[in-house]
Structure 1
Amino acid sequence: MMELQQSLAMVFDWQVLLVILGASIFGLFIGAIPGLTATMATALLVPLTFFMDPLPAIGAIVSATAMAIVAGDIPGALLRIPGTPASAAYTDEAYLMGRQGKVGQALGVNLACSVVGGVIGVAILAFFAPLVAEFAIQFTSDEYFWLALLGLSCAVLVSGTDPVKGAISMLLGLLISMVGMSSVSGQMRFIFGVPELLNGIAILPVLIGLFAIAELLRRLPEIGTISLSKMPLVKKPFEGVGGLLWKYKGGVARSSLLGTLIGALPGAGADIASWISYALARKLSRTPEKFGTGHPEGLVSASSANNAALSGAYIPALVFGIPGDTITAIIIGVLMMKGITPGPDVFTTDAVLVNAIFIVFILANLLLIPLGLLAIRSARHILSVPHGVLYPLILLFCIVGAYAANNSMLDIWIMLILGLFAYAMVEHDFPIGPMILAVILGPVVEGNFLRSMIKANGDLLMLFDRPIAATLGTLAVLVWVAIIASALISAARSRPSVANKENT
């Protein structure tokens, strides 16, 4: 009880509340602009969190992320342009409801379901994370090695249609993580005579480059393409929403639980949770033929899953220090900058902070109602901001943020180079998620593997010596078998099509 009181006192400090409110408004604005994702909003906040205490820093990111996901529904319903990847699954349904004169109801359903899904996700997070942490205290370097490797493997498996490209992206991230001095052996690697690289590449310019810079480059051709004349007026956003939620209450509960579970898988994230929940709702629906015609059932399920997935992603992040998605990868980087290492021990050494994080989650989801309604009402004004003004300001903010971490011009160059590289990768359908997860998890995999080998005198079989390690190791091997099998099947399917083209 004393810990809970201390946590509440931390959260309801006026400075923390002001940060949460400001970050929420920022997230709403970024999410409502087509193409500016929740991950980008998070990456842009990282430079500011550099100057904050741990709780307001995390509160800012949690709030901005939840708001950006909800605000991403607005351009989807009004313009058929998903504001964030998480809203892409149900953009057509929301837009077609708008064409039927129900755009207010569509946005109201999105908002209400996001709040319900988010609160359910937080409840699951708060209940299960401490239980998992008690179990994880038994882990040694063997288990952490396999767990981190399993996280990387799952990220590759769910990263897209081509697991080979996901694996290449992961290996590039591992290469970045190896720059500098080894934490175990002390050996210097890939510094090319540059002393500033001795401590490795800072996470901040990597995050900003891979997400913000790459996304800006992708969106430059869209400057001036949005026309306000296309957008219908939003009227009565909550009319009929209560009846729809009650009618599809089973879908809300199912998708919230499913979204939390999918969010807990490393590399999955809210966008995958939305697509899977939408597909499952269609398969289990009594009227699947109505899907894709402006039917609210798919909208209810998918929008419940995306915010629940945000909470689920924090389970592996807080308990094991393994990111559930790119946003929690950023959170882990922020916590490490503050001298806090996520893991099972954090639930005992920083229990007050962990409880405060759970309270911030609840507060952020409840704030969705008034602020989300404000965003819906202000949609036309938000979307009218010229991209030609907005994008240069974001670029300037990125440059200042990358420089502020270490007061180094090298970090700016790293940010720009990685941004160009990430842009080229995305243009050729290489996923960025496995790359950033590998940058975070690379040192975890390497450090724990080397420690295990030192203990076992180089005997690889000792990695399977403990029951938990053997289970995790077997799962990791099975995932890699699935990745290789998927790649071989894709290659076998592509051969006949290539042969047919040559014959014609």
Structure 2
Amino acid sequence: MTDLFEGLRLVLQTDVLIAIAASAVYGLVIGSLPGLSATMATALLVPVTFYLSPIAAVATIITASAMAIFSGDIPGCLLRIPGTPASAAYTDEAYAMTRKGQAELALGTGLWFSAIGGIAGTLSLLIMAPALAEVALNFSSFEYFWLAVLGLMCATLVARSSPVKAIASMLLGLLFSCIGMENPAGTPRFTFGMTDLLGGIEPLPALVGVFAVSQVMRALSEAEPPPLPRRRFGSIMAGQWALTKKYPKPMMRGNIVGIIIGVLPGAGADMAAWVSYALSKRFSKEPQKFGTGHPEGLVESGASNNASLASGWVPALLFGIPGDTITAIAIGVLYMKGLNPGPTLFTERASSMYALYIIFILANIIMIPLGIIMIRVAATVLRAPRASIMPIILLLCAVGAFATGNNLFAVLLVAFFGTLGYVMERNGYPVAALVLGIVMGSMVEQSFVTSLIKSDNSIMPFFDRPISAVLAAITLGALLWPVAAWLIRRMKARAPAVAGASGGHANG
């Protein structure tokens, strides 16, 4: 109890509270700009942390990342342009709600359930850190392979178009992920002699291109859609308690999936959002409503991505193993400030650990009032003429792409993927599946090749390790389920016909 009060005293220092407030506003702004991800928001804060106390330094990382993950939903909902990769999974759903005149409900859902997910993830960090870390330690390349394949299968589960087109888009994304020399052999592939392609295709330029630039191109080529009803932007939080009571199972499932995926090194909020949205559609009583502006998917994936953000700190604090790119940056800050990750951190510096937990909860509580203000400011976008918005979006895309690596080639990549995204959407191929293939491709390949090297080219360890066997069964079950469902439908359709034919013969 003494450590808890000491942790509270550390958080209530003036410099820590100022750091939390300033980084909250900063994270909300950066996350809402297309092309500037939560990872970039965190990375840009590192030079600032040099001049802060240890607790204030870590507070800026925690608060900015939590705010940026949520505010990535804002441009996705209002303009169909996800601010962060985690928002891409449910951008179409949120935008469909906006077109139905439910923008405040969609944004409020993202805000409310992100805050709940963040608090749930923090409680998991507080209560289950050692147990969750033990699970994470038992994950090797065999388990990561199945997890990555399961993530790829979300492309077919979340697609509104034909599953064949979704798989084709995903395979094209996997092909793009093969570009460069960041592969197990270290051999340049598909670079065509261009040195700029040696580093491979980053997911961010692809994400910005296929969602943002293709949207601008669509705006140029198509007539302006019917204007949204001219009305006062309603209450952001209205209806959220009703959604909480209506969808308790999706919310809890999103929290649990987010916590589990967050603990696994290298997985992160992006995979958590995709998996949770796919699970929501799979287990929903109204799957036909997904993609038409149905809040159920937003509830589950919103709860999941922020829960994974908090639980991603479990392996980071216990073992110094980054859960995702944000915690990789945070580990560097922890070492720099003398808070060396490891089991001793929980015993010798227990008050500092409690301070981190309090900061997590505080960040998710202040997310609600600050998020409402940010949504109200951003909502003016809905009332602005499209001709004035689209050039600004294009400029933000170019600046965001250039800022990722101070490289003009990234801007050309954004233009290429914008054109590709436009052509794909015109022909009914889901662009979200393409992005998923690019994001997950390197993880699939690295895990598969590493596993084969470790097992001396034997595939048995993929199936005979306990956790790997469970994941393999889930993956293969999900893969064969559509085929089984199709066969059952065929058999049921044939049964009445056969019965009718036999009845006709009997009467004859």
TM-score normalised to the size of structure 1?
0.66
Query: 1:19 is aligned with what amino acid?
Result: S
Which region of structure 1 is more displaced relative to structure 2, 423-432 or 83-92?
83-92
Task: Tell me: CA distance 1:419–1:91, structure 2 relative to 1, closer, same or farther (3 Å).
Answer: closer
Corresponding residue of 1:150: 150
For the residues of structure 2 that align with 1:144 and 1:430, how far apart are their CA atoms? 28
Corresponding residue of 2:189: 189
Could you report, residue by residue, the CA deviation over 1:342-383 in whole angstroms, capped at 9, with x for unpaired residues?
xxx988699999988876664454234433554676687453
Corresponding residue of 1:466: 465
For the residues of structure 2 that align with 1:88 and 1:438, how far apart are their CA atoms? 22
Maintained 8 Å contact 1:179/1:201: yes
Task: Tell me: CA distance 1:396–1:443, structure 2 relative to 1, closer, same or farther (3 Å).
Answer: same
Corresponding residue of 2:274: 268
Which region of structure 1 is more displaced relative to structure 2, 411-420 or 368-377?
368-377
For the residues of structure 2 that align with 1:380 and 1:450, how far apart are their CA atoms? 47
Maintained 8 Å contact 2:122/2:310: no
| Residue ranges of structure 1 left out of the alignment (5+ in a row) | 31-39, 77-82, 96-102, 284-291, 293-297, 322-330, 494-504
Which residue, 15, 22, 25 being the options, matches 2:26?
22
Corresponding residue of 2:202: 202
Corresponding residue of 2:441: 442
For the residues of structure 2 that align with 1:379 and 1:236, how far apart are their CA atoms? 14
Following superposition of structure 1 onto structure 2, how do residues 271-282 of structure 1 map, counting pairs within 5 Å? 279=285
How far off its partner does 1:192 sit?
Answer: 0.9
How far off its partner does 1:193 sit?
Answer: 1.0
How far off its partner does 1:22 sit?
Answer: 3.1
For the residues of structure 2 that align with 1:337 and 1:379, how far apart are their CA atoms? 29
Q: How many residues align?
A: 436
Helix, strand or coil for the counterpart of 1:180? coil
Following superposition of structure 1 onto structure 2, how do residues 283-302 of structure 1 map, counting pairs within 5 Å? none
Corresponding residue of 2:303: 308
Could you report, residue by residue, the CA deviation over 1:294-326 in whole angstroms, capped at 9, with x for unpaired residues?
xxxx97x777545323334548977799xxxxx
Task: Tell me: CA distance 1:417–1:25, structure 2 relative to 1, closer, same or farther (3 Å).
Answer: closer
Maintained 8 Å contact 2:23/2:64: yes
Query: 1:206 is aligned with what amino acid?
Result: A
Task: Tell me: CA distance 1:315–1:370, structure 2 relative to 1, closer, same or farther (3 Å).
Answer: closer
For the residues of structure 2 that align with 1:474 and 1:143, how far apart are their CA atoms? 12
Maintained 8 Å contact 2:42/2:329: no
Could you report, residue by residue, the CA deviation over 1:165-197 in whole angstroms, capped at 9, with x for unpaired residues?
222222122211211225422222111111232
Which region of structure 1 is more displaced relative to structure 2, 255-264 or 425-434?
255-264
Corresponding residue of 1:406: 405
Maintained 8 Å contact 2:119/2:307: no
Maintained 8 Å contact 2:463/2:472: yes
Task: Tell me: CA distance 1:423–1:468, structure 2 relative to 1, closer, same or farther (3 Å).
Answer: same
Which region of structure 1 is more displaced relative to structure 2, 4-13 or 186-195?
4-13
For the residues of structure 1 that align with 2:345 and 2:446, how far apart are their CA atoms? 24
Corresponding residue of 2:64: 60
Corresponding residue of 1:80: none
Query: 1:444 is aligned with what amino acid?
Result: M
| Residue ranges of structure 2 left out of the alignment (5+ in a row) | 50-57, 81-89, 262-270, 317-322, 333-339, 493-508
Helix, strand or coil for the counterpart of 1:454? helix
How far off its partner does 1:114 sit?
Answer: 4.2
Query: 1:158 is aligned with what amino acid?
Result: V
Which region of structure 1 is more displaced relative to structure 2, 430-439 or 346-355?
346-355
For the residues of structure 1 that align with 2:481 and 2:386, how far apart are their CA atoms? 43
For the residues of structure 1 that align with 2:107 and 2:417, how far apart are their CA atoms? 39
Maintained 8 Å contact 2:34/2:397: no
Maintained 8 Å contact 1:156/1:167: yes
Task: Tell me: CA distance 1:15–1:259, structure 2 relative to 1, closer, same or farther (3 Å).
Answer: same
Following superposition of structure 1 onto structure 2, how do residues 369-448 of structure 1 map, counting pairs within 5 Å? 369-374=368-373, 381-448=380-447
Helix, strand or coil for the counterpart of 2:399? helix
Helix, strand or coil for the counterpart of 2:44? coil
Task: Tell me: CA distance 1:399–1:248, structure 2 relative to 1, closer, same or farther (3 Å).
Answer: closer
Task: Tell me: CA distance 1:484–1:267, structure 2 relative to 1, closer, same or farther (3 Å).
Answer: farther
How far off its partner does 1:253 sit?
Answer: 3.8
Maintained 8 Å contact 2:42/2:326: yes
Maintained 8 Å contact 1:90/1:302: no
Aligned CA-pair RMSD = 5.2
Query: 2:44 is aligned with what amino acid?
Result: F
For the residues of structure 2 that align with 1:202 and 1:161, how far apart are their CA atoms? 26
How far off its partner does 1:460 sit?
Answer: 2.1
Following superposition of structure 1 onto structure 2, how do residues 60-459 of structure 1 map, counting pairs within 5 Å? 60-67=64-71, 69=73, 85-87=92-94, 114=113, 117-118=116-117, 121-122=120-121, 126=125, 131-220=131-220, 230-233=229-232, 245=241, 250-251=245-246, 253-261=248-256, 268=274, 279=285, 305=300, 307-314=302-309, 332=324, 362-374=361-373, 381-459=380-458
For the residues of structure 2 that align with 1:180 and 1:305, how far apart are their CA atoms? 35
Maintained 8 Å contact 2:462/2:468: yes
Maintained 8 Å contact 2:121/2:308: no
Could you report, residue by residue, the CA deviation over 1:175-221 in whole angstroms, capped at 9, with x for unpaired residues?
11211225422222111111232232234423322333233334456
Maintained 8 Å contact 1:206/1:415: yes
For the residues of structure 1 that align with 2:405 and 2:277, how far apart are their CA atoms? 33
Query: 1:51 is aligned with what amino acid?
Result: L
For the residues of structure 2 that align with 1:398 and 1:483, how far apart are their CA atoms? 38
Query: 2:395 is aligned with what amino acid?
Result: L
How far off its partner does 1:232 sit?
Answer: 2.9
Helix, strand or coil for the counterpart of 2:475? helix
Corresponding residue of 1:499: none
For the residues of structure 1 that align with 2:413 and 2:181, how far apart are their CA atoms? 18
Maintained 8 Å contact 2:115/2:367: no
Corresponding residue of 1:498: none
How far off its partner does 1:222 sit?
Answer: 7.7
Helix, strand or coil for the counterpart of 2:139? coil
Task: Tell me: CA distance 1:210–1:381, structure 2 relative to 1, closer, same or farther (3 Å).
Answer: closer
Task: Tell me: CA distance 1:161–1:402, structure 2 relative to 1, closer, same or farther (3 Å).
Answer: closer
Maintained 8 Å contact 2:111/2:371: no
Which region of structure 1 is more displaced relative to structure 2, 211-220 or 274-283?
274-283
TM-score normalised to the size of structure 2?
0.65
Query: 1:260 is aligned with what amino acid?
Result: N
How far off its partner does 1:116 sit?
Answer: 6.8
Query: 1:256 is aligned with what amino acid?
Result: M
